[in-house]
Chain A
Amino acid sequence: QVQLVESGGGVVQPGRSLRLSCAASGITLSNYAMNWVRQAPGKGLEWVAVISYDGSNKYYADSVKGRFTISRDNSKNTLYLHMNSLRHEDTAVYYCARLNQGLLLPALDYWGQGTLVTVSS
């Protein structure tokens, strides 16, 4: 079955960098656009970024634009989120999610279990 497994979270100091990974199994990632969505403790969902199936198109939320980079390695069936200049407000559980553009209209139909990033000195 389809599985998305995030990793790379942890505690990091403000201003430092971190790279999250999302490994896929049961699907060929290269067939799908992928997203990152985050959720601060006790808060709602915040969409972060999207990348096209081949990595040629990307878009970011204003809150992370210029600091975060979404990328993918289809040969490894893996999605990444490179996070630079981290701030306290970036503390959240980060989810990767598949964008299914084969539905009537696009939707996030598979999600990972999330990885927690804590930005703290």
Chain B
Amino acid sequence: DIQMTQSPSSLSVSVGDRVTITCRASQSISTYLNWYQQKPGKAPKLLIYAASSLQSGVPSRFSGSGFGTDFTLTITGLQPEDFATYYCQRSSGSPHTYSSPHTFGQGTNVEIK
């Protein structure tokens, strides 16, 4: 199975900072990569799908990039409401939707410095 590895596991930043989180797949997944934000006690929220497409309603300070095995989530100008945990996920399109796991990375906790 394909493994997803995020780095760093946590980082301390200030409002206004540029934040970069990376996600590495153990083998190529093309652009089958999604990013989610989760705040304490809340369900995850989809931010980015297909590696770089911004989900409707998500602020444009969030962006994603990458292809193959290496992916990046960037927050340009961190806002107070962005302190949260971020997860990457390998998605599986047809014909693999029902034949491979949709694995999450271990998460990156973005904390206030």
Whether A57 pairs with B43 at a CB distance below 8 angstroms is no
Whether B46 pairs with A106 at a CB distance below 8 angstroms is no
Stretch touching chain B among A10-18, A40-48, A72-80, A84-92: A40-48
B7 at the interface (CB under 8 A from A): no
- DSSP majority for the A interface? strand
B77 to chain A, nearest CB (A): 24
A31 at the interface (CB under 8 A from B): no
Whether B104 pairs with A95 at a CB distance below 8 angstroms is no
Contact A59/B99 with A103-B53, A107-B46 known, Cβ cut-off 8 Å: yes
Contact for A105 among B50, B87, B100, B106, CB less than 8 A: B50
Q: Which residues of B contact A107 (CB under 8 A)?
A: 34, 46, 49-50, 55, 89, 91
Per the CB 8 Å criterion, the residue count for chain B at the interface is: 33
A101 to B106 CA separation, bound complex (whole angstroms): 24
Whether B43 pairs with A111 at a CB distance below 8 angstroms is yes
> Which B residues form the contact surface with A (CB < 8 A)?
1, 31-32, 34, 36, 38, 42-46, 49-50, 53, 55, 85, 87, 89, 91-94, 97-107
Q: A50-B98, A111-B45 are in contact. List 19 more A-B contacts (CB 8 A).
A: A37-B104, A45-B104, A47-B89, A47-B103, A57-B97, A59-B101, A95-B44, A104-B49, A105-B31, A105-B34, A105-B91, A106-B91, A106-B92, A106-B97, A107-B89, A108-B36, A108-B46, A109-B49, A113-B42
